[in-house]
Amino acid sequence: MREVYVAGIGITSFTRLEYPLSEIAAYPAMLAMKDAGLSKVDHVYVANMGSGRLNHQSGLASAVVDSLSLTPAGAETIENGPASGASAIKQGFMAVASGLHDVVLVTGAERLREVNNLEATDCVATLTHPLAEYIYGVTLPSLAAMFTRLYMQKYGVTERHLAMVAVKNHDNALLNFYAHLHEKVTIEGILDSPEAMTNNPYVAEPLRFFDCCPVSDGGACVILVSAEVAKKLGKPLIRLAGVGQATDTHCVHERAEPTDLLAVRGAAAQAFKMAGVTPGDVDVAELHDAFTILEIVESEEVGFFKKGEGHLALERGETRLDGRLPINTSGGLKAKGHPVGATGVGQAHEIVLQLRGEAEKRQVKDARIGFTCNFGGFGNNVVCLVFKRED
Amino acid sequence: MALEILAYRCKKCGELHYPLRMVCKKCGKNAPHEFDTVPLPKRGKLLTFTTVHNLPPDFDVAKLTLGIVELENGLRITGQLKIPSPKIGMPVAGKVEVVREADYSKNYGMVFYPA
């Protein structure tokens, strides 16, 4: 296998965007090409989940490759639910590693706000089992809520721990220009004050409004290249050193231990093995906190903390920007936003910024190894990536 | 005739599945129609639950309680709960009722009541 490097990155604000989906995909791609100093690519992957259903557009990659005037380069749309972004990066990795292509552009884009939030939630809920989950009104927040209740009972996680994730990630997002929510929140305001139930009502008990990510539009792009190309471009050498992917049962109720996220565990283990590093080597990580509970549980399943102890590390401040292992420096899905197909690419974007030392006010000092976890379905399809700075 | 939700028993190894899958999870027997159907038991205990306040557009109610129930034969099912204040571990009994109506079609599923 050939080594694969990230030569360029680009991103839009994650927010409500009033321009067409194909432009949301193309704009970060233009920025990434400028960043890399490239005007031609061999292949384009576009990560997206909802274009057919939400935006009445199919074959998104064909529209994007032409809009970028990159024809006749090959182009494909990759749909893998909320893990579409990292899945598309994995496809790009395979294309370069195999020797098939030297320069691959991976852009993720989503325009959820073309519909209202209930329809957007319903669109994402079509990931669930059609006959055994979806028909009952099961949505991703409700699966996360049922999971949270079990986790609280088994490991002593409380609403306060969940709120601490929200406070931390909102604080980080204040330092990220591209984040969806620039809004400082406090434990008092969302949990303790008399107004807390108004500020922070239940969405799916025990999860509240501030435990759930916003519904965002947005796009993000990374350009993956071979070592030969990377060395010619003269950018900091950031290698995509490990990719891992694992799946789990479609129905959450079929999992032997319902508090385990085995696909996260499996995907992370593969990615670390390929990269030749351990979870203890990681300097900065982006985890898929579509719900606050997920940041805590993923931090355990990927191996940063022991099972059932993620919330204790959070209490100790270890995952804060100034902690031992900063998690979700971008603001995470919680506050940076969750434009579904773009999310995994957005996570990679943040890690590359950190490893290049370009993360400005939220820069983690001397970050050399970064990790992302992109969580599809309710943990039924997970892709993890490890990035290494090599110069 | 009482409405039933069906579980699927592998003809080779006897493993029960819900919902239907194409290949047996236990023995990997790979052949079409290799499952016998058996009705799911209706009684069990509540494994976990949530009350959802933010429902898809098909639901014309302000909130809905959903749960996962561990049935008497060990299989689990996701369903709706009509239980005023649910508790983890409580015994429940299910009925097959309309759980979602969309585009003039009725979807039937399991609704649980206190046992």
**Tens-place pLDDT, residues B55-114:** 988 898 999 999 999 999 999 999 999 999 999 999 999 999 999 998 788 999 999 999
Q: What is the pLDDT of residues B35-68, one digit of tens each?
A: 999 999 999 999 999 999 989 888 989 999 999 9
Q: How far apart are CA A158 and CA A181, in angstroms?
A: 24
Q: What is the pLDDT of residue B32?
A: 76
pLDDT score of A46 more than 90: yes
- For the stretch A228-244, pLDDT in tens is 999 999 999 999 999 99
Nearest CA-CA distance, residue B91 and chain A, Å = 17
Give the whole-angstrom CA distance, residue A317 versus residue A304: 14
pLDDT band at B28 (very low <50, low <70, confident <90, very high): confident
Residue A167 corresponds to which tokens in the numbers above? 């406070």
According to the model, what pLDDT value does residue A344 have? Answer: 98
Is A91 domain-assigned?
yes
- Amino acid identity of A125? A
**How many angstroms separate the CA of residue A164 from the nearest CA in chain B?**
21
- Residue in chain A closest to B59 (alpha carbons) equals A137
Which residues in chain A are contacts of B49 at CB distance < 8 A?
A: 146, 149
Q: Domain limits at A227?
A: 4-116+215-233
Would A290 be classed as within a structural domain? no
d(CA A43, CA B106): 45
Whether residue A187 lies inside any domain: the answer is no
Q: Give the Cβ contact number of residue A97 at 10 Å.
A: 17
Contact A253, A129 (CB under 8 A): no
A55 pLDDT band (50/70/90 cuts)? very high
The chain A residue lying nearest B6, using CA atoms, is A132
B1 pLDDT above the threshold of 70: no
Does A136 sit within 8 Å of B50, measured CB to CB?
no
Structure tokens, A248: 């789990």
Peptide bond into A28 cis (omega under 30): no
Residue pLDDT, tens place only, A14-40: 999 999 999 999 999 999 999 999 999
Choose the closest CB to B80 out of A118, A136, A204: A136
pLDDT at A152: 98
With respect to residue A23, please indicate whether it lies within any of the assigned structural domains: yes
Which pLDDT belongs to residue A187? 97
pLDDT for A5 equals 98
Contacts of A203 in chain B (CB under 8 A): 52-54
- Domain of A87: which CATH number? 3.40.47.10
* Closest approach of A210 to chain B, Cα-based (Å): 14
Residue of A nearest to B25 (CA): A249
What pLDDT score does A214 carry?
Answer: 96
Q: Chain A residue closest to B17 (CA)?
A: A254
SS3 helix, strand, coil % of chain A, rounded to 5?
A: 45, 20, 35
What's the pLDDT tens digit per position in A326-385? Answer: 999 999 999 999 999 999 999 999 999 999 999 999 999 999 999 999 999 999 999 999
**CB of A112 within 8 A of CB of A216?**
yes
- Of A76, A49, A90, nearest in space to A246 by CA: A90
Q: Does A96 fall in a domain?
A: yes
Task: Decide if A129 and B19 are in contact by the 8 Å CB cutoff.
Answer: yes
Confidence tier at A301 by pLDDT (50, 70, 90): very high
Whether residue A145 is contained in a domain is answered as no
At how many degrees (to 10) do helices A140-155 and A117-125 cross? 70
Helix (H) or strand (E) holding A293: helix A292-301
pLDDT tens digits for A206-262? 999 999 999 999 999 999 999 999 999 999 999 999 999 999 999 999 999 999 999
A122–B80 C-beta distance less than 8 A? no
Pairwise CA distance, residues A37 & A60, whole Å: 25
R_g (Cα) of chain B, nearest Å: 16
Query: Which chain A positions have a beta carbon within 8 Å of B99's beta carbon?
Result: 135-137
A241: contact with B, CB 8 A cutoff: no
Q: Which of A150, A251, A254 sits opposite B48 (nearest CB)?
A: A150
At A388, the pLDDT band (50, 70, 90 cuts) reads very high
| Residue A73 within any structural domain of the chain | yes
**For chain A, how many structural domains are there in total?**
1
Examine residue A157 and state whether it is found in any structural domain, yes or no: no
Q: What are the structure tokens assigned to A359, written together?
A: 């993360």
CB-CB under 8 Å, B51 with A258: no
Facing B66 at nearest CB: one of A121, A137, A203: A137
When scoring B25, B78, B90 by the number of chain A Cβ atoms within 10 A, the one with the most, hence best to mutate, is: B78
Selected residue of B52, B58, B59, B80 to mutate for chain A interface (largest A Cβ count, 10 A): B52
